[in-house]
Chain A
């Protein structure tokens, strides 16, 4: 089944990580594993072009370096392990403030949290709100850094159900997770980094 959204990374390297090559396409989830400090977060940040690096990434043949960085990051969205917030209310972090209220329930969040200040939310609530924020404009690729590190079992499964549904619509996912069960449930391919050859 060809779904497009074909991300190709070639020779990604920087800050003592890599070079790393991989491909992932719509409907797939590439799980990145490796010891703490092996550079899994750095790899995701390089794919999002949030830090200087060698090598290149392309999506369906279009090179990241050939388009403005903001445009690339709308297609290839990075969600940090501890996502940042910059304004007063959670819903103000969305282009359409109503998006949060409409989507909150499927991740087990109260829609009233949209009008709360981000620092009033628990770490797990903020993680889920940040995922909703990242999918608001239907990115093609989602880069998830420990997305459920602060979630209980039930919330983790709800989050995975959402990710799986988006994958069926053609989303490609790169997942960094320390949870082997989660990797087993979501991954369709794997990449281990930081092993000395």
Chain B
């Protein structure tokens, strides 16, 4: 394969774009230069580290190292789901709920994917398991984060209407159904848009990456299709699990709205 690679000089040249953007921010007092530079630096360090770690794990071929890395990824994703939300479930529930949703969806979908790959590749190899789990996890994480945010904001905003329904003798699932639907909708739109626009509006990342690395475009497209199905499945599963656990936690068996189990984050 005549893959395209990028040397240190090329990376430094590309970083000039970030520096130019930061300069623009200074010039126009946009106030984003610091965040932009920190994020750019963080991204570079993180990715280079991951590259090194992955190279090490791939060379070792150890299933235990692979497993350990997956656990670290799942833990980080569980934390990230709730990291920038205005409202969170109190008492460790936020982390537990995010972890349950994202991990279950990722493990089920990744296991399904890897078992369907069993005939064509060595599916236990770290270089197969880790990228698949990683991309599935990332999508499940952001979809769940958006959905959970929509649910908690929505419930807090519609609190009086929900309580009025409960007071009239509606059940908790009747009273919260519109909120659940809105939240699931909000979380799944990006994934659906991504599928609908794939190839026409954007060339998806995996496909672009494979083409740049020298792969035949049709084969690259097939990998992208395969992954898109996995991503959508994982995102929807994770959203639904998270939303239902949150709904149960924010109500109780006497059909009360339990916003006392929610805390606001400044």
Residue ranges of A at the interface with B (Cβ–Cβ < 8 Å): 48-52, 68-71, 73-74, 77-80, 82-86, 93, 130, 133-134, 137
B169: chain A residues at CB < 8 Å are 70-71, 73-74, 77, 137
Question: In the complex the two chains form, is B159's CB within 8 Å of A84's CB?
Answer: yes
Contact sample, A vs B, 7 pairs, CB 8 Å cutoff: A51-B256, A69-B256, A73-B169, A77-B168, A80-B164, A84-B158, A134-B168
Residue B162, interface by CB 8 Å: yes
Return chain A residues, CB-CB under 8 Å to B167. 48, 50, 73, 77-80, 134
A52: B residues at CB distance < 8 A: 252, 254, 256
* Chain A residues, CB < 8 A from B166: 50, 70, 73
Contact A69–B255 (Cβ < 8 Å): yes
How long is the Cα–Cα vector from A180 to B169 in the complex, in angstroms?
31
The residues of B with any CB-CB pair to A shorter than 8 Å are: 158-171, 175, 178, 252, 254-257
Chain B residues lying within 8 Å of A137, measured Cβ to Cβ, are 169
Counting residue pairs across A and B whose Cβ atoms lie within 8 Å, the total is 65
Point out the residues of chain B lying under 8 angstroms from A130, CB to CB: 164
A133 pairs with B163, CB closer than 8 A: no
Query: Which of A51, A70, A82 has the most chain B CB within a 10 Å cutoff?
Result: A70
Complex Cα–Cα for A85 and B160 (A): 7
Ranked 4 nearest A-B pairs via Cβ: A84-B160, A86-B161, A84-B164, A74-B169
Question: Which listed residue, B162, B168, B252, B257, touches A73 by the CB 8 Å rule?
Answer: B168
- Contacting residues, chain A, for B257 (C-beta < 8 A): 50
Q: Tell me the complex Cα distance, A133–B165, Å.
A: 10
Q: Contacts A70-B169, A84-B159, A86-B178: A49 and B256 contacting too (C-beta < 8 A)?
A: yes
A51 CA / B166 CA spacing, docked (Å)? 11
Interchain CA distance A137-B168 in the complex, whole Å: 9
In the complex, what residue of chain A is closest to B178 when comparing beta carbons? Answer: A86
Cα–Cα distance between A79 and B167 once the two chains are bound (Å): 8
Q: Which residues of B contact A78 (CB under 8 A)?
A: 167
The answer to whether B256 and A83 have CB atoms under 8 Å apart is no
Cβ-defined contact, B256 with A70, below 8 A = no
Distance, CA A83 to CA B159, complexed state (A)? 11
| A118: nearest chain-B partner, CB-CB | B161
User: A70-B170, A77-B168, A85-B161 provided; 10 other pairs, C-beta below 8 A?
Assistant: A52-B254, A70-B171, A73-B166, A73-B168, A73-B255, A78-B167, A82-B160, A86-B161, A86-B164, A133-B168
> Are the C-beta atoms of A50 and B163 separated by less than 8 Å?
yes
Chain B residues whose CB sits within 8 angstroms of the CB of A133 once the complex forms: 168
B8–chain A nearest beta-carbon distance, Å: 59
Give min CB distance, B260 to chain A, whole Å: 8
Q: In the assembled complex, which residues on chain B have CB atoms less than 8 Å from the CB atom of A69?
A: 254-256
| Closest-CB distance, B225 to chain A (whole angstroms) | 41
**CB-CB < 8 A to A85: which residues of B?**
160-161, 164
Q: Which residues of A sit under 8 angstroms from B164, Cβ to Cβ?
A: 80, 83-86, 93, 130
Closest to B257 in A: A50
What's the Cα separation between A180 and B178 when bound, in Å? 41
| Complex Cα spacing A190 to B91, Å | 41
**A45 → chain B, closest Cβ, in Å?**
9
The 8 Å CB contact of A80, one of B158, B160, B255, is B160
Which residues of the partner chain A approach B175 to less than 8 Å between Cβ atoms?
A: 86
How far apart are the CA atoms of A196 and B160 in the complex, in Å? 31
**Most B CB within 10 A of own CB, among A71, A73, A93, A130:** A73
